[in-house]
Structure 1
């Protein structure tokens, strides 16, 4: 094994498992509401449309605070800022146990989005400070493993906690929010104590290794025409940022639209809450397989857009088949294909922004891309809830998501043509544009 691979492996082992754990907890906290909905709706009077609106309001708070949060990360450092995020999101998740009706549900979901804003894009930015571009597909695939793992855990755990109905006078869904909010609070101190702000702060890399890493990141800056705006907020006006934000929208809309309604869909198969929890975890096993296979293939072939196009096609087919079929086994198989595609899409997509931006510009640009893209987290659950209430059938929402994936397929060609192909044909012009932006 080369010295480069040994160093990359050491960095990966030192950072990625801990980051996976942190984001796993975040994802459990934001998605458990899908299981709480099975009972809290009847207990406090929340219908399908109200649930869809409340579930989606998380992403409005997320959208509004994403960019300020990532710029604060650049100012205060990953260690302190991630600890702040975890402390507030854990406390608000516990507070979700005490909502009294639709309005308090809306407020708490919005505040949870405000609290968690900046964590996921913050980690993406953090990764750009440790790994050269050529290694990021595999690394992002490993980090995003936390999403399907979280959903696998959420199902059985949520099903079990819903069974605590009446313990100490609380409903099962209240116990669900209380228990899943505690790990974020408990991990605040380890984050503050052990997470390094950057390569220069660690003692498990010697100075030669640190210098090599700085040099490789600088080579990426030149090779990909990366931009470092004099004012990082200028990244928010960069056409590449806005285009990538639009490109990310179909992925988030589909992931959250499906994920927050999946327990309701599985519940229609019949069975107890615990059975629903276990069956709901099955598609995410295939999401994990996709993340272990597809990003590595993308790195090896140095191909992002071809992989994305194939994944969008598979996702559209899976969503259409799950809506069209009335046989539970076939529906579940189609949903497994959807999970395989969507999570792999996420990992490959997030290799793209780091090709074009570095430094504080990357922090601001990644935050904008994620915040605009995550509006899909509002639109997806809300649209499916509204369609279900209007038609009386979840299939209409799945057909809608299938169309969204087709839209993503079309955007793949547009983004490739406007960014990558243009750069390949005019590298000098592209690099000159990037140099100009660095002084703006």
Structure 2
């Protein structure tokens, strides 16, 4: 888990450091807020088209090889963003065209990483551990800003060798992905069956536990990959995730500019921007554990999104920077806290290739808002001079996402199959007590 957290930390940092680069890149290259919003968000259009094929290939060739490929190629493209002016000069294209093209290529390169890891976690962790483990993994999202925000802010003071500060930011933060791609090949194990580092009885217990859970899910719902993609619950889950991501990315890409507008330096901007993400780490850990303990998902998602939506809308009616940051911080707890509970839902009715396809479909459709969120924020800022209307729109979208979450059908028997199969079916040897503990309501 710590290694996967590190990988996603690097992935998310490479995805959103464009928000910090914009503090000087936009001026250097003459980008409007709209141009920046298109470039920041178009990443997700490419992500949309390549997500499902990527996840199906991961299921076929194994997580170790495919995740290593993803990390290597996104590291190359992320580093290339440092040379936008040079590429524009060599090709005769405008800097805006090069910027947008590289963001498209970054989306193609990274497609499948997040749902691939979620699918990987469903292979390794039984249902009753799933939300908290997904929460631990996804804590890398807010952590990438808690730790990476100040680092990105400080890197904007780096100059030299003919490169501007934002170019150094892109270049330096691309290196870890390239290094980690090699570690992935050597370190990850594809499936529990291959885990020679587990004792024989531990490996047997885990394999049997997953076999039992898969058998129950397939008995209740047997989907092909195509049926999973078009399933009504999958589409509704994608709508919820669309709302969550509209808020997360719309704010992530523009929050450094909002905070910088308070009159703060680059360094202080990086520090203050971390506050909603610190709350997000706490939300992911606390809210996912509470969801696992209560075996409840829908209300945890709905309540978290309600608080987030109200707080984001509330930032438009207060003038004090302190009050604005307080509301953004509470919203961060809700936005990030909802996600582990959300990602525990698809695995309760999907398994095997259907799970790989369904998870990728939810992520790719939901991530389309990663384009629309930043684009709308940029357009509104250019048209009105403020972010008020865009922030209100995000609050409304989260309200609709909350209503859909509360209306979802969810069979808790599929969430906790051990309660319905008997302990002897899921426990082997000394791990019978562990299975019994997991099955406790």
Normalized against structure 1, the TM-score is what? Answer: 0.89
Q: Runs ≥4 in structure 1, deviation > 3 angstroms?
A: 222-229, 419-424
SS at 1:261 equivalent: helix
Residues 216, 414 of structure 2: 8 Å contact kept: no
Alpha-carbon distance between aligned partners in 2 of 1:183 and 1:35, rounded to the nearest angstrom: 18
| Residues 223-234 of structure 1 mapped to structure 2, 5 A cutoff | 223-224=216-217, 227-229=221-223, 231-234=224-227
Give the superposition deviation at 1:43: 0.8
Does 235-244 or 88-97 show the bigger shift? Answer: 235-244
Match of 1:353 in 2: 346
| Residues 267-306 of structure 1 mapped to structure 2, 5 A cutoff | 267-306=260-299
User: CA-to-partner distance for each residue in 1:298-352, whole Å, 9 max, x for gaps?
Assistant: 0101111111121111101210121211100000100100110011111110000
| Residues 70-219 of structure 1 mapped to structure 2, 5 A cutoff | 70-100=55-85, 101-165=95-159, 167-219=160-212
Give the superposition deviation at 1:81: 0.5
Alpha-carbon distance between aligned partners in 2 of 1:396 and 1:154, rounded to the nearest angstrom: 29
Residues 236, 404 of structure 2: 8 Å contact kept: no
Alpha-carbon distance between aligned partners in 2 of 1:136 and 1:422, rounded to the nearest angstrom: 15
Alpha-carbon distance between aligned partners in 2 of 1:148 and 1:423, rounded to the nearest angstrom: 30
Residues 94, 177 of structure 1: 8 Å contact kept: yes
Q: Cα gap change, 1:122/1:262 in structure 2, threshold over 3 Å: closer, same or farther?
A: same
1:19 aligns with 2:4: yes
User: CA-to-partner distance for each residue in 1:204-230, whole Å, 9 max, x for gaps?
Assistant: 21332222222222332344456454x
1:382 aligns with 2:375: yes
Residues 43, 103 of structure 2: 8 Å contact kept: yes
User: CA-to-partner distance for each residue in 1:221-277, whole Å, 9 max, x for gaps?
Assistant: 344456454x43332222222222122211111111111111011111111111111
Gaps of 5+ in 1: 1-15, 425-440
Residues 301, 339 of structure 2: 8 Å contact kept: no
Alpha-carbon distance between aligned partners in 2 of 1:62 and 1:227, rounded to the nearest angstrom: 28
Match of 1:362 in 2: 355
Alpha-carbon distance between aligned partners in 2 of 1:172 and 1:226, rounded to the nearest angstrom: 56
Match of 2:304 in 1: 311
1:251 aligns with 2:236: no
Residues 299, 406 of structure 2: 8 Å contact kept: no
Match of 2:420 in 1: none
User: CA-to-partner distance for each residue in 1:44-99, whole Å, 9 max, x for gaps?
Assistant: 11110011111110001111100110011011111110110010000100000111
Number of matched pairs? 405
Give the superposition deviation at 1:28: 0.4
Gaps of 5+ in 2: 86-94, 416-441
Does 395-404 or 335-344 show the bigger shift? Answer: 395-404
Match of 1:13 in 2: none
1:330 aligns with 2:315: no
1:51 aligns with 2:36: yes
Match of 2:231 in 1: 238
Normalized against structure 2, the TM-score is what? Answer: 0.89
Residues 311, 342 of structure 1: 8 Å contact kept: yes
